[in-house]
Each structure stands twice: as C-alpha cells, then as structure tokens.
Amino acid sequence: MDIKMIVCDLDRTLLDKDKEVSGRTLAALEGLRERGILVGIATARHESSARRVTDVVRPDVMIFSGGAVAKVRGEVVFESLLSVETTKALAATFAGLDETGYITMVTADGYFINKQWPVDEWRDFNDGVIVDFAGVADLKAEKIMLQIPIGLAKEIAKEYPDTLLTPYSGEDWVQYSCKDATKWGAVAAVAGHLGIDASEIAAFGDDFNDAEMIEKCGIGVAMGNAIDEVKAVADYITVSNDEDGVAVWLEENVL
C-alpha cells in the first residue's frame, strides 16, 4: 500500500483498556518510521493529558482537542478555537445549570475544571486548575467538555451556531468546540502542509469524532470495538484495541 502517513486516535484505539501502548504496537510504529512513513495521533485529549503517551510514541504529527490544534514536529500548523465571547457565554451557561457534573475547558493558558476529581481515575488529567466557570477570564477555548444530558446539550448548541457539539459513545460527556475544529479538518490541514494527498493517509479510530477522518482518508480502519457508525464508513475493520488492532492491521497490510 502506498501510505505516507498514519493517524491514530488514542483512547480505545492505540491505547489498551489500561491506557497503555503495547510493545507490539510500539514495534509496529517503529517499523513505519523505518519505511519513511509518518506517525500521527489525533485525540480528543489536550496536549498535556496526552504527553505520557506522546513521550513514548514520539509522533511526527499531533492533533489535540478533537482537531482544535495540530502540530507537525512541534510546529503549530492549524488552530481553530472558540471565540472569547462564545467561550465566556458557554462557560457561564454551564456554570448556572443544575444538570451538569464535571466541567472542563482547555485553553492556551491552561486546563480548567469546576471541581476536583479522583486522581487515580484520571491520572493523565491532574493538571486541572479549579475555577469558577461563571466568570472565566477572556480566553479562547480549544474545547469545553462536560457531563450533561445529551438532549440539553443539543438545545444549548442551537444557540451557538459557531460551535460543534460532539458526543462520546458509552459516556455522559459531550464536547463543544469551534465548528471547524474536527479531526478530519486538522488532518487535511496537516496533509496540505506536508504535501501529502488524503489518499496516502491511513486513519484509525473507534468513536463519533473519528468517523469523518476514517471516511475521507485514503484508508479508514475501524477498531473491532468501534461503534457501528464508524465501522459503516471504514474500509477495514481490525481487532479491538485490547488485541493490538492497530499493530495487527499494520503487520498484515504495510509491514
């Protein structure tokens, strides 16, 4: 296969259930590098929460916050942020609701949360600063994620046409971001920067925010544990993340 770059989601894709990258997967990624194929990650995580993984994987391309920011070898090549006005308005709206649980916000100035969560359960997210979301500073958010009933989340999103609402399967979390902040949009921007055609990219994922890049990249690979909507648009379905699905597909088709 004529592949010049792969792009992998992290949670429930490249990472196993313990949020680790297996030795088999690391060996497969090193095999790609030996063939001159670029390794990329595209995650809903913000940069610091992905650092434990990126320090090990050493990706050439890093897409964070569901597509809000993209870096190539450390250089920012794409950014799509919520405006100051929208950031403040959404934050204040969420702070005034009784139906919300945790509220989080990622900005260039830091990662903010509305209350402390159990450290052991969120080991990659312990850099959060507790703030009052009713009066956040003038910041542009990469994303705002929170626990909220999906019906209410959709009603709020209607009031902000410049935002994109993304649910997460099997969870009560949703994400609000700029309408142009998608994994596919960031992948396309990276491809343009590198002079790579979309047909030369293989994308791997499992959830709603992976579907578009899996459909539009040259090769789309759904994990065995992916939701049906992702499997429906994929070219291939590999085994699950706990069975080294990314490595298995690469070994069978590229290495």
Decide if 19 contacts 124 (C-beta within 8 A): yes
Q: Look up the pTM and report it.
A: 0.92
Q: Is the dihedral of CA 90, 96, 97, 103 positive or negative?
A: positive
Q: Return the H-helix or E-strand segment holding 76.
A: strand 75-79
pLDDT score recorded for residue 158: 95
pLDDT in tens, 24-52: 999 999 999 999 999 999 999 999 999 99
What is 84-178's CATH topology?
3.30.1240
What is the CATH number assigned to the segment(s) 5-79+181-253? 3.40.50.1000
% pLDDT > 90, the chain: 84
Whether pLDDT at 121 is above 70: no
pLDDT score recorded for residue 119: 61
pLDDT in tens, 178-206: 999 999 999 999 999 999 999 999 999 99
Phi, psi of 107 (to 5 degrees): -135, 170
pLDDT score recorded for residue 72: 97
pLDDT in tens, 4-21: 999 999 999 999 999 999
- Across the range 230-254, mean pLDDT stands at 98
Whether pLDDT at 120 is above 80: no
Which neighbouring-strand residues pair with 116?
none
pLDDT score recorded for residue 7: 98
- Across the range 203-228, mean pLDDT stands at 97
Provide the residue ranges of all domains of the chain, joining segments of one domain with +: 5-79+181-253, 84-178
pLDDT score recorded for residue 117: 72
* Residue 103 CB partners (closer than 8 Å, separation 6+): 91, 94, 95, 113, 114, 133, 144, 145, 146, 147
